[in-house]
Structure 1
Amino acid sequence: MYSILEKAIISADASEKEKLIKEINVNPESKEKPKFFEKPSYANFCKIVPPANVPRRKGFKTDEKKAVLLHALIHIEYSAIDLALDACYRFRNMPEGFYIDWLEVAADEIKHFKLINNLLEKTGHKYGDFPVHNSLFEASQKTQDLLSRMAIIPRWYEANGLDANEKIISRLQKYKDPFAQEVIAVLKIILKEEIPHVSKGDKWFKWICEKENLEPIETYFNIVDNFFKDWKKKDLNVAARLKAGFSCDELNILSGEKVC
């Protein structure tokens, strides 16, 4: 199982990742230590730059502007494939349900990648045509233990995606372009399916908290404090976050005001 997961993680082809995932028979037992990956699988076909140097997403009227937005989205989905696979690969001898959960997430992320890729190709562009940042990959490198991984990847970054998705849909609704409606339709699918992804992270975060006798909310914000200097968040997708397992107490702390 783990050797197939390693091949899937380092593969630079989403279709190959999908094929390898289908070959996996869950067998959590392992005495070997997982490898530490030095570079992301997209490093050979994407130019990696600091986040500030990634093309800005402004407007949606030209094919170029459409492609910039879609490229940012497809990069997130591609990165999410590897993050889900890495959760399976890195954390060994866990309950079987853990691997089933994250293999399901990886399969969903491949589906999302394909949906956005179809749209991106309609603009005359492909994944790798624009520079990308590797913040999500760096976050995976910094979260080599289960507690921080579940807190930072699904309960922070993927939960942030629930907020961002809703905002992008709202912005695109002002465009009468039929293509914008296609993008909105895809984003709505992704939003609906990302909620269970965050929920899976919430489940396993609380599982390890219970196992280690830790208070979940206090533990979560202690971890967040260690990763981010200024983490107050506005415009939370409260409904989606509640469905994903966040409590009102957490959301009120996150926003710095009463939101539910």
Structure 2
Amino acid sequence: MKGFTINFFKELERIIETTSSEEKIERFIRFYELFQTKKLLFVEDFVPKKFENPSYSEICTIVAPQNVPKRTNLTTKEGQINLLHAVAHIEYSAIDLALDAAYRFGNMPYEYYVDWLEVAMDEIRHFLMLESLLDALGAKYGDIEVHNALFEASYKTQTLLERMAVVPRYLEANGLDATPMIVKKLKKLPKNEMLERIVQNLEVILAEEVSHVKKGDIWFKYACEEEGVDENIYFEIIQKYYPRGFLRPNDLNIEARKEAGFSCSELKVMAKKEVCI
């Protein structure tokens, strides 16, 4: 590593704390190029910071989840903006979540960092796709109130085991269930160009999110092995942070979840019935 002076973790910290979305993305793209050409220094004794506020707190007004504007009539411009803004916020939050996964856990196999920086790059692309649609509707990210539930999840999970269980294997996996229902609803509406573009974007995001959950599955199982615990600890962790657990057992996207690494025995617990063998 002789001659490499840019600290991998310190630079990630700087990117995570960047409050401008444009600047954050520009900085990450430069950082990612350095990472891909192996020009970054991994400092083994680096101590990560615990971020007290999400980086978007200077862009968006944060409110309780129940106070976020509802996605009402999706045939209207207002309804479409509300939907796109909500999904864009998830994707923007997911950028920081992926970066934090790489930043927070040191001394991991190199492939771990490859995985989460790839995810961050995907989330940036997803965010920019949605931002473009918002722009076409005369809106921008930050125009509408948001919640900070995803940031809170990362704030509370400071071990690799809990982070991988909660963020990719629970929260992102829930997106595998929710997105097809949104797409189905949109496809039933009278067709217009904007609705078709929204559907196309959501279908791209859904397809790519499967691989993100799969990466989380791989590193969750790695953490279980490292800590010498059974993989069924997953349900204990979810119960700890989300006592209401799996609220829509009939809406599970079984095929996507299987592709992302969930076993049939896990899916049986979630669905409260046999759903695959």
TM-based fold match above 0.5: yes
Aligned partner of residue 259 in structure 1, secondary structure: coil
* Equivalent position amino acid for 1:46 in 2: C
Equivalent residues of 1:18, 1:107 under 8 A apart: no
RMSD after superposition: 1.2
Structure 1 position 239 matched with structure 2 position 236: no
Contact 1:146 1:208 in 2 (8 A): yes
What is the alpha-carbon distance in structure 1 between the residues aligned to residue 273 and residue 136 of structure 2? 42
1:37 paired with 2:37, answer: no
State the 1:29 CA deviation. Answer: 3.6
2:150 matched to 1:143? no
Cα deviation, residue 101, structure 1: 0.4
Q: Which residue of 2 aligns with 1:90?
A: 104
Q: In structure 1, how many angstroms separate the alpha carbons of the residues matched to 2:114 and 2:239?
A: 30
Q: Would you say 1:47 and 2:61 are equivalent positions?
A: yes
Measured after TM superposition, the shift of residue 230 of structure 1 is 1.1
Identity of aligned residues (%): 49
Among 232, 249, 256, the alignment partner of 2:265 is 249
Alignment correspondent of 1:117: 131
SS in 2 for 1:18: helix
1:64-103 equivalences in 2 (<5 Å): 64-103=78-117
Structure 2, unmatched stretches of 5+, are 1-7
1:4, 1:20 within 8 Å by CA — same for their partners in 2?
no
Q: How does 1:1-260 map to 2 (within 5 A)?
A: 1-21=8-28, 22-23=30-31, 24-25=34-35, 27-175=41-189, 176-216=191-231, 218-232=232-246, 233-234=248-249, 235-260=251-276
Question: After alignment, is 76-85 or 124-133 more displaced?
Answer: 124-133
For 2:27, give the aligned amino acid.
L
Q: How many residues are aligned here?
A: 259
Question: What TM-score does the superposition give when structure 2 sets the normalisation length?
Answer: 0.91
Provide closer, same or farther for how the CA distance between residues 28 and 204 of structure 1 changes in structure 2, counting only shifts above 3 A.
farther
Q: Which runs of 5+ in 1 are unaligned?
A: none
What TM-score do you get using the length of structure 1 for normalisation?
0.96
2:142 partner SS: coil
Q: Deviations over 1:117-163 (max 9, x none)?
A: 11111111111111000000000000011000000000000000111
C-alpha contact (below 8 Å) 2:9/2:43 kept by paired residues: no
For the Cα contact (< 8 Å) 1:27–1:96, is it kept in 2?
no
Q: CA deviation at 1:27?
A: 4.3
Q: SS at the partner of 1:2? A: helix
